[in-house]
Copies of this chain bind each other. A is one copy, B any other.
Amino acid sequence: MKISAQEEFGLRCLLQLARASAAGESLTLAQIAEREGISVANAGKLMWILNKAGLVRSQRGIKGGYYLARPASEIHLNQVIRVLDGERVDSHCKSYAGVLDACVHTGDCGIRPVIVELHQIVDNALSDITLSQLLDTEANVDAALHQIHITKQRSEQRA
């Protein structure tokens, strides 16, 4: 259970764009790459993925660059992760079938619900966090996340 490099760096780059967009600016690939310490080529690949998914927009030409497609407060982390993950969210059992296919095709499996539930929990937790919330200091972000967690539980309790 870990976060891939694409998810990690993609999210970081998005945060850079979020910061820039607060000042109404756009960032070129070279700027993004320099600020995150990755190669220009790699930044280009990440931006291509994010652009294709509609999370960022690009302006070509001599005064071009990248900027967020929507305000940072309207971009939720679960969308970001899903995009950077290559949409492989629902392919667990298909890929880890081994030689036998007993586990895949036999309807009754005790592990599948665990996997499904786990992804729901993660997705649910991430859906409450927006890019704009991550622009604060680490201490404040941490406090905000805990606050969200508690609030969430209360609202679910009422439901």
By a beta-carbon cutoff of 8 Å, the part of chain A in contact with chain B is 1-5, 7-9, 11-12, 15, 35-39, 77, 81, 85, 88, 92, 96-103, 107-119, 121-122, 125-126, 129, 134-138, 141-142, 145-146, 149, 153-154, 156-157
Contacts and interface: CB of A to CB of B under 8 A. Distances in A.
A98 B9 contact: yes
A99 B34 CA distance: 9
State the copy count for this chain.
Answer: 2
B1 A81 contact: yes
Given A88-B2, A118-B122, A122-B118, A113 B101 contact: no
A112 B3 CA distance: 12
B115 A3 contact: yes
Contact of A99 (B1, B37, B92): B37
B107 A138 contact: yes
A100 B96 CA distance: 36
A134 to B, nearest CB: 4
A8 B96 contact: yes
6 contacts: A1-B81, A1-B122, A37-B97, A37-B98, A121-B125, A153-B157
Contact of A4 (B2, B8, B98, B111): B2
